[in-house]
Amino acid sequence: MAIQEEMSKRRTFAIISHPDAGKTTLTETLLLFGNLIRSAGTVKGKKSGKFATSDWMEIEKQRGISVTSSVMNFNYQGLQVNILDTPGHEDFSEDTYRTLTAVDSVVMIIDATKGIEAQTKKLFKVCRMRGIPIFTFINKLDREGREPLELLEEIEEVLNIETYPMNWPAGMGKRFLGIFDRHDKQFVQFSGNEQETFIPYDDLDRPAYESLVAQEEYQLAQDEVSLLDEAGDQFSLDAVLTGEQTPVFFGSALAPFGVKTFFDTFISMAPQPGARKTTEGVVQPGNPEFSGFIFKIQANMNPAHRDRVAFLRVCSGKFERGISVKLARTGKTINLSQSQQFVASSRGTVEEAYAGDIIGIYDPNVYRIGDTLLEGKELFEYNELPKFPPEQYKRVTVKNVMKSKQFKKGIEQLVQEGAIQLFTKYKTESYIIGAVGELQFDVFKYRMQNEYNSEVVLETIGERIPRWLKDDQVDSTLFDERNMLVEDREGHYVVLFKNDFSLRWFKDKHPEIELIDLYEVN
Ligand code: GDP
């Protein structure tokens, strides 16, 4: 069946990392494999001054919105590779987390010189919570970095996941010789930029490789590999696919070195789209009826173009241009004949898409984040979008009280859309908004002004740790400005703890009060 065959070719993943670990560089190298760009160094316009990615920038030019890096796709070894961008740096927001609900696996990049960094940890937590398979690429081996064993230990300890080194580096920085590829039983020799020589283990005793084998770094690494073979964790594809073990690859995205070895192995192990849970049970990706959910809505920041694009992950069936679907939340029928864009594909509209694909659909202001669109008689909803606990909080007021009506309407809509989270301070009318990253506040402020003609004043409360309370355990006398009691949209009480210390202090003092971490219940 065509649907089965098409969806089984999809490999949909995101790359997660801390800024500067090498996500852009790795993406560029992967795009080279897909022959999508002529030379590396062109994904980020600001670096090269030009975009070789212009093929998929048409949409952006036409609409003035940034979809460029939302998803990139190419064919590789007969597979359809979909890479979703996880916005980082100053773009870090709830959208970054939500993207992780739309992928089937994740590549985590770690900078060998730095180890695990804050943003990686946050994104990793979401992957673990959802049981997403995680593949690790330890980058920048061409520089002096930390010891490989130490890096693995750090991953195991800090991230609480078993590691299995798929390859092992011999030396680092100036003394970097290459990697032992444990998976394909070969030594991949590094000889400067873009030079990789693949030597099967069996050939290593040939005279040609005598000088390589004689080097101290080689010998040491060989000993370590033997040790790993004997005493290290066993590789288990099952454990990888349930997110309990991460295969680890060493290399350099920039050289590039070890990237092909990594990608070939990754692509052979990465899962195809799987079954997904809905309110009416599990739906298989090969199910003939189309279904999918919206994980991101991008509003146009250009006032001349008020249109918005909703990003939908196809979960089953076949999407064809012009199909009629139902919006599960309302039961209304919508015809998707206009303006669907296969985001980031080779220009133009999408004619068809299958489970694993991401499509961008024109949003005439009817969609919400988390919405399910489907074909068929039955109505069900994907319960894919958990709420992510905000980390930053601000008090929000309207500048001109005469305009409180627009203010309330605007907030209401933006909150429903999932642009920001809203809380009210306990027993007051005072609004507090929460976000994962600063960008969300900027977008909120801008859209309030431009779409609802309501100028808002934001007052920083700062970073807080939210913990939900059980409804029968709310005692307002225990909280103050420091550990602030607020109510969420569903009427549940939340304490915004000032910091880790306050949280621990409170737990010690009031062990009887249960504090719920959203991450643990999602
Ligand atoms: P991103 O912020 O994660 O997208 O990181 P970039 O891909 O922009 O890389 C950040 C910096 O690290 C850039 O200056 C890259 O040239 C550099 N970089 C990336 N990969 C490597 C690598 O393998 N080796 C070295 N030496 N530098 C790298």
pLDDT in tens, 102-159: 999 999 999 999 999 988 998 998 899 889 999 999 999 999 999 999 999 999 999 9
Binning pLDDT at 50, 70 and 90, where does residue 434 land?
Answer: very high
- Contact predicate 300/307, CB 8 Å: yes
Q: Which amino acids bring their CB within 6 angstroms of ligand 1?
A: 17, 19-25, 139-140, 142-143, 252-254
How far apart CA 12 and CA 23 sit, in angstroms, is: 16
How far apart CA 20 and CA 186 sit, in angstroms, is: 30
- In terms of average pLDDT, the best of 61-75, 110-124, 325-339 is 110-124
User: pTM of the full predicted structure?
Assistant: 0.88
- The Å distance, Cα 21 to ligand 1 centre, comes to 6
395 CB-near residues (< 8 Å, 6+ apart): 430, 431, 432, 458, 459, 461
Mean pLDDT for 466-493 is: 91
Parallel, antiparallel, or unpaired: how do β-strands 515-516 and 465-469 relate?
Answer: antiparallel
Which pLDDT value is given to residue 69? 47
In percent, the amount of the chain with pLDDT more than 90 equals: 62
Q: Is the dihedral of CA 407, 409, 410, 415 positive or negative?
A: positive
Ligand 1 atom nearest residue 139's Cα: 23
- The Å distance, Cα 252 to ligand 1 centre, comes to 9
Among 215-229, 238-252, 299-313, 413-427, which stretch is predicted with the lowest mean pLDDT?
299-313
- The Å distance, Cα 140 to ligand 1 centre, comes to 8
Question: What is the secondary structure of 297-344 as a DSSP string?
Answer: EEE--STT---EEEEEEEEESEEETT-EEEETTTTEEEETTS--B-TT
Which pLDDT value is given to residue 405? 92
Which pLDDT value is given to residue 108? 97
Ligand 1 atom nearest residue 256's Cα: 23
How far apart CA 309 and CA 299 sit, in angstroms, is: 7
- The Å distance, Cα 270 to ligand 1 centre, comes to 24
pLDDT of 72 above 70: yes
How far apart CA 137 and CA 259 sit, in angstroms, is: 9
Mutating to test ligand 1, I would choose from 18, 25, 137 the residue with most ligand atoms within 8 A of its C-beta, which is: 25
Ligand 1 atom nearest residue 26's Cα: 7
Mean pLDDT for 50-71 is: 41
Ligand 1 atom nearest residue 17's Cα: 3
Which pLDDT value is given to residue 375? 96
- The Å distance, Cα 411 to ligand 1 centre, comes to 39
Report the nearest-CA residue for atom 14 of ligand 1. 20
How far apart CA 284 and CA 275 sit, in angstroms, is: 4
pLDDT of 347 above 50: no
pLDDT of 346 above 90: no
Q: Is the dihedral of CA 157, 109, 260, 14 positive or negative?
A: positive
- The Å distance, Cα 199 to ligand 1 centre, comes to 27
What is the tens place of the pLDDT at every residue in 259-269?
Answer: 999 999 999 99
Which pLDDT value is given to residue 212? 93
Helix (H) or strand (E) holding 151: helix 148-159
Ligand 1 atom nearest residue 19's Cα: 2
Provide, for the chain, the percentages of residues in helix, strand and coil under a 3-state DSSP scheme, each rounded to the nearest 5.
Answer: 30, 30, 40
- The Å distance, Cα 110 to ligand 1 centre, comes to 11
Mutating to test ligand 1, I would choose from 20, 46, 143 the residue with most ligand atoms within 8 A of its C-beta, which is: 20
What DSSP character marks residue 257?
B
Q: Which of 325, 327, 314 is nearest to 286 (CA)?
A: 314
Amino acid occupying residue 294: I
Task: Indicate the annotated binding residues.
Answer: 17-24, 85-89, 139-142
- The Å distance, Cα 19 to ligand 1 centre, comes to 9
Task: Indicate the annotated binding residues for GTP.
Answer: 17-24, 85-89, 139-142
pLDDT of 389 above 80: yes
User: Residue 459's beta-bridge partner residues?
Assistant: 395
pLDDT of 65 above 60: no
How far apart CA 146 and CA 129 sit, in angstroms, is: 28
Mutating to test ligand 1, I would choose from 108, 141, 254 the residue with most ligand atoms within 8 A of its C-beta, which is: 254
